[in-house]
Chain A
């Protein structure tokens, strides 16, 4: 039982990071109908910038301050990158056929990856051990303070985003743009500004996810955005792409499914499939969900974008 609980905890933690990254995919998709494949790489840049900032500041300031500053620097860099991408790569293509921005997104993704490889090198970069988080054991489940912090912060970010979109003027403008950009413009919504804001928020959350990955795994690599982006995109689709709550649910669910399948596939199939079939199983679940609910778990079936 304690092993099962531990697997759930592992899954939820992994899932909360997937969920944060998935938000970036789903928000942009909701508004533009565009899959921004470069989003995973923005997260990578966030992780890299954090490591560099920590490397510069280490030993000069208290640890809490260093982390806060590093996180802020990462957010600023990622937001600027998100805005630049939107302005340079996607805005000129807003009325182009749908394939054009998609291909551009893949190109931008490669551009960011290899620029990062030039700047930070192709090696795995380690996070220096800043502090030792206190470890707790509860019902046989091992968890440390850092992991609890990551999980709570992820939930807080998701909750505040949901509140922001639902209850603020800007949030309502985002919803209006999502429902129908042309009508929103007629109603006086500055849709161009709203789209830029969407990219900025997605990038900022991505930056925080990057910081979390640094802290959780203790390393970053120029290529890490690819697999992460793929998983987060899967999470967004699982939950219903374009739906903010769906991205959160999809992310957490994907994390748990991965964790449980890696943990139990081998024993359940009598060793026929090992833990290396984790991803196979995960995508099997995705296909199953999409067959029953083509628009994802929480997606609206009516969502039909221009």
Chain B
């Protein structure tokens, strides 16, 4: 009798252990990885790190509230990679993220990186949301996995052009680009709109993203009496360019895209920066619906200011997570169709995608340097919502 009981007890005990083990297993947190790819070193590191920080903040926020998919708790984990703003490195990093079994990627920053990487994510069926790449080509590859939460140059270029014509009343415009897929794409779209509106492009010049001497080009432009110079490129070139414009006594204003709208531009150009114009896809960070709260939260954690795209990085993660919730799965194959249906109120405003994966009605804001600060001028809603963007005719190696 006693022996029998003991046997029973042992049986019961082992059963309990077994069951509790099972229970633990079913309660075990499922860990999924979200990839973040941007330049974390190099001349653009400040912008790339900003994006990664935004992604990290979003992941922490999701983990804090607790995410449950298919009745299991899910914990998000950040897999951040450095693409060095380099097309070749971007594809390596993309493959690395795919191999690490990330369920979604927020990245990349540079169009020249996002575009070649998009094929790798598309082949693996992993959703990619770029927080910052504005080259129209990015979403024109026909991939179902490619999205972005910024307006593209097809929208930014025309917005700048309309501002130049309507507000600045520019008649003779000179255009310079840095021969990258971003810079040339932006400049081409700008040129197409101003030419269509009947303004005169007096010079179309090219430099590179390594150059620091633009005097020859600028002198030539001076000889053509341009009243506005538009530059498609980023701050390390735009800064010295504006400085040399002043040195050459060129009175025309300099205008550029988001690559130039950085504190670094003002630092590099010094007092010459005064009066320059630049556009940024999206609203000013202070004016974003969720802006002020986000800026405080960011400042508290990273002890530095938001550069540019951290809010987009944050929202990109949220878009992924919301889609997962609706699909009740973190399997890319299952939740990818849900991303298309996104209707999300993010920090940057309402987020919805068109059939190409572009942000619908992405706002564009024009800024001007006034007493050493970028000041938002107006919120020019993308004036031509869905024209066919001119694909950049760039011989860039990133576009194969």
Contacts and interface: CB of A to CB of B under 8 A. Distances in A.
Nearest to A13: B215
With most chain A CB atoms within 10 A of its CB, the pick from B203, B205, B222, B223 is B223
For the complex, would chain B's binding face be called helix, strand, loop or mixed by DSSP majority?
helix
Nearest to A217: B212
Contacts of A7: 216, 219-220
Interface string B209-222: 01011011101101
Contact residues on A (Cβ < 8 Å of other chain), bracket: 35 or more
A253 to B, nearest CB: 15
A221 B264 CA distance: 14
Contacts of A227: 210
B271 A258 contact: no
Interface in B28-54: 41-43, 45-46
Contact of A275 (B220, B239, B264): B220
Given A122-B41, A124-B264, A10 B216 contact: yes
Interface residues of B, number: 36
B271 A142 contact: no
Contacts of A122: 41-43, 45
A132 B271 contact: yes
Contacts of A260: 216
Interface string A253-266: 00000111111101
Contacts of B220: 3, 7, 262-264, 266-267, 275
B68 interface: no
Nearest to A279: B208
B373 to A, nearest CB: 15
Contacts of A11: 216
B249 A135 contact: yes
Contacts of A13: 215
Contacts of A132: 271
Given A3-B223, A276-B208, A218 B270 contact: yes
Interface string B260-283: 000010011111000000000000
A304 interface: no
Q: Which 3 A-B pairs have the closest CB atoms?
A: A262-B216, A276-B206, A3-B223
9 contacts: A3-B222, A7-B220, A123-B42, A124-B236, A126-B264, A266-B220, A274-B204, A274-B206, A276-B207
Interface of B: 41-43, 45-46, 179, 203-208, 210, 212-213, 215-217, 219-220, 222-223, 235-236, 239-240, 243, 247-249, 264, 267-271
